[in-house]
Structures are given as C-alpha cells and as structure tokens.
C-alpha cells in the first residue's frame, strides 16, 4: 500500500526540533550545592534502546533546571531546560514541535542552521540562571566558549517506512536536513552524509553531521542519542577551552624565552616553569574529569553511537591538538627546569669561589675568620 501523501506528494512527518547549546562558564560546578539551592533533578542514566544488563551512566549526573522559553523573532516559542555538568559546562536544550512535509523540514533546517544565532539569543537566559547559581560556581570565566547543535527528531512518518525504505525514497531529503541546505545535493554529497548513519532496529535511524543530526525514532528511543550528542558537544567545548588555554600559556613562555637566557632571565624561568606545570596538571585533571563523566559499560550500540557522534563533531581532532600542545608544554617545562638548574648550579659554584677568594684575601693579610 502506498504511503499517505499530502497534495504536493510529500509524506507527512511529525516530531520536534531540538536546539542543543553548550556554554563553558567555569572550572567546575558544585552540583550538590546547586541541587539544594534550586528546584532541580539529576539525570542518572540515558534510557537504552533495548533491555540489557549493560547501560550508560554518568559518573556525576548533571543537574537539570527548568528555564524560561526562548521566543524567536519569527514568533516560534521553544520550551527548554538547562543541565549543569560538574566540569563547568551548561547545556541548554530548547524544543519546538514539528509537523509537516519534507520540504517544510528542509526549509526549517536551512533557516535554523545558518540564519539564527541561538547561542546569542539564549545568553540572557543562561546569565539569569547562573546568577541564581553563582555560589556553586568554582572559578567562573569572564568570557565563555559556546557550541550549538541541532537535532531534527522525526517520530512519525506516514506509512511507517523501514530504514531501508526511508533511505531509498528520502535519502536526499535526509541529507538536505543534516546539511541545512534546500538545494539539490550531488549524489556524492548525499552518500557522504548517509555514510554517517547508525541503526539498532530496522525502523530507527540516526544520521550524524558536524552541526546537525537527523533522528527517526520514538521519543524514548531517541533519548539516548540526544544525550550522547549533547555529551559529545560538551566534550568538544572542553577541549576547545584546553586548546585556548595551552595556546596562551605557550605564547607567554615563548615570549619569555625570546627575552634572552642570561642569568636573571634563567632565574625568572623558575616561576614560569611552576606556572606551566600547574597548567599541565589542571589540563590533565580536567581532561580526565570530562572523559570520565560518562561510562560505557556493556552497551556496545551506545558506545558506537557516541564514537560516531564524537568523530563527526570534531572531538578527536581537538583532543589531538590538545595532546600535541601538552607534549610541547612538557618539553618546554623540562627545558626551563634544566636552564634554571644550570643557573642555580653556576650560582652555587660562583658563591663557593667568592667565599674561597675572600678567605684567601684575609689569609694573606694575616686575618682569620
């Protein structure tokens, strides 16, 4: 039986559009204090697509706080909530129900992906929420890094096609939604987008892009994918912060080294080496903190979905950048310590020589100490 269509021949869709916004606002958040301070709940673990003894759980579950709606200039009203992660990231999720055809969804994707700065529009809401939670923030930042990501979640498609049927009939439309483009994409581009897809059942689908994703699943089935995409983007944000932090610290050290390697300059290296080592320790601790925020136990599908999401949004790339800069910083630290030790050894030797000279002078003059 052919699937029901509207007057334009397009299958009807029902679902929602999710806007994920992440803000790196401080070094850490005291979630225990936050939960006491505001009306909040904790996210213990994402629901799984299938009953299994293994699951994904947060090591320190984020605290969820309701927030006021976001109203766009177009009049669209998005309901939302804010999640506080203990490693200093705020994740804001806004949702807008959707009903229409593929053309309408592609048009909405194009407008929302490219024309709307959600981070800027949500900043006032985030600041108001942070003002209420100010006492729980550890070392808040003056400037925030942010990430935004869109998820187009389709719960129902007329005719309830399987994944195979959906890809065959509407693969080009799905690619348009993920790319945020209403133009006719080349076959090579469509194939490139659809390569980043994953399914568990024959009637669920996730297609992951670098700034947007398409989900075809039930509300409960899509919950895990939404949370893993949220987590992947928060990790990207953290590694971006580490990258900026290390870049600034390395530039400062290079500037210091350019001033010369004389005696006084070498003594100044001691303080700089200590500061650099402190930064390295902070980066190591924060990286481990972010990496261990969620644990993949025996749910292999969740692990594969997360790996795909992290790869598409760029987590491995930024992690490699941070790793390279950490290695450079460690080499600089060893060099600075060696320079300082050489200066200290030279100073001690010079001191001994001066003492001997003074003793000899007094000796030849007939004096003793």
- Tell me the pLDDT tens digit for each residue of 269-327: 666 777 777 778 777 776 776 667 666 655 788 888 999 999 999 998 988 888 888 88
**To the nearest whole percent, how much of the chain has pLDDT over 70?**
79
Structure confidence at residue 18 (pLDDT) = 97
Tell whether 7 is covered by a domain: no
The reply to whether 97 and 219 lie within a common domain is yes
- Alpha helical stretches, state H, 259-314: 263-291, 300-313
Do residues 40 and 89 share a domain?
yes
Residue 68 has pLDDT above 70, yes or no: yes
Predicted TM-score (pTM) of the model is 0.82
Clarify whether residues 352 and 300 are in a common domain.
Answer: yes
> Could you tell me if residue 265 is inside a domain?
yes
For residues 200 and 251, give the distance between their C-alpha atoms in angstroms, rounded to a whole number: 47
Q: What is the pLDDT of residue 246?
A: 86
Sheet architecture: strand order including 13-29? 41-42, 63-71, 77-84, 89-100, 13-29, 137-157, 212-216, 205-208, 197-198
Mean pLDDT, to the nearest integer, of 66-85?
A: 91
- Identify the band that residue 259 occupies on the pLDDT scale cut at 50, 70 and 90: low
- 1 falls within a domain: no
Q: Is residue 5 part of a domain?
A: no
Q: Choose the final residue of a domain: 200, 227, 254.
A: 227
> For the CA atoms of 137, 143, 145, 150, what is the dihedral angle to 10 degrees?
90
Region 238-252 average pLDDT: 86
Residue 323, number of CB atoms within 10 A of its CB: 14
Could you list the residue range(s) of the whole structural domain that residue 145 is in? 13-227
Q: 265 is written with which tokens?
A: 């300059």
Domain co-membership, 241 together with 179: no
Model confidence over 24-61: pLDDT tens digits?
999 899 998 998 887 655 665 555 555 544 456 777 88
Domain count for the chain: 2
315-364 and 263-291 helices, crossing angle to 10°: 150
pLDDT of residue 3: 40
Same domain, 214 and 71: yes
**Same domain flag for 149 and 248:** no
- Domain end residue (candidates: 227, 249, 265): 227
Tell whether 262 and 209 lie within a shared domain. no
For residue 38, tell me if it sits in a domain.
Answer: yes
Number of Cβ within 10 Å of residue 162's Cβ equals 14
Query: Which range has highest mean pLDDT (177-181, 228-232, 358-362)?
Result: 177-181
368 within some domain = no
Closest by CA position to 290, among listed 226, 239, 247, 223: 239
Listed residues 198, 227, 256: the one ending a domain: 227
């Amino acid at each position: 039986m052919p699937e029901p269509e509207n007057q334009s021949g397009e299958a009807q869709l029902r679902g929602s559009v999710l806007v994920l916004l992440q803000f790196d606002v401080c070094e850490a958040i005291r979630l225990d204090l936050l939960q006491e301070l505001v009306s909040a709940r904790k996210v213990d673990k994402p629901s799984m697509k299938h009953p299994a003894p293994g699951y994904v759980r947060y090591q320190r579950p984020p605290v969820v706080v309701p927030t006021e709606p976001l109203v766009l200039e177009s009049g669209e009203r998005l309901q939302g909530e804010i999640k506080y992660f203990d490693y200093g990231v705020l994740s804001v999720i806004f949702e807008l129900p959707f009903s229409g055809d593929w053309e309408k969804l592609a048009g909405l994707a194009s407008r929302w992906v490219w024309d709307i700065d959600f981070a800027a529009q949500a900043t006032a809401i985030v600041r108001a929420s942070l003002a209420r939670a100010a006492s729980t923030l550890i070392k808040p930042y003056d400037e925030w890094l942010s990430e935004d990501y869109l998820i187009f979640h389709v719960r129902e498609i007329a005719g309830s096609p399987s994944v195979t049927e959906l890809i065959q009939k509407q693969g080009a439309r799905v690619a348009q939604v993920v790319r945020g483009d209403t133009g006719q994409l080349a076959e090579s581009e469509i194939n490139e987008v659809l390569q980043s897809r994953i399914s568990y059942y024959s009637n669920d689908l996730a297609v992951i892009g670098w700034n947007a994703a398409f989900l075809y699943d039930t509300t409960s089935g899509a919950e895990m994918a939404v949370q893993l995409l949220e987590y992947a983007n928060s990790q990207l944000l953290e590694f971006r912060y580490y990258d900026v932090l290390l870049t600034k610290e390395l530039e400062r050290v290079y500037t210091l080294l350019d001033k010369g390697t004389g005696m006084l300059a070498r003594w100044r290296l001691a303080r700089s080496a200590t500061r650099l080592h402190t930064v390295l320790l902070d980066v190591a601790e924060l990286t481990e903190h972010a990496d261990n925020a969620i644990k993949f136990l025996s749910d292999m599908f969740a692990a594969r979905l997360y790996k795909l999401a992290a790869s598409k949004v760029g987590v491995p790339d930024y992690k490699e950048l941070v790793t390279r800069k950490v290695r450079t910083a460690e080499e600089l630290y060893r060099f600075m310590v060696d320079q300082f030790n050489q200066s200290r050894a030279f100073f001690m030797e010079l001191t001994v020589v001066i003492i001997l000279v003074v003793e000899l002078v007094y000796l030849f003059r007939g004096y003793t100490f």
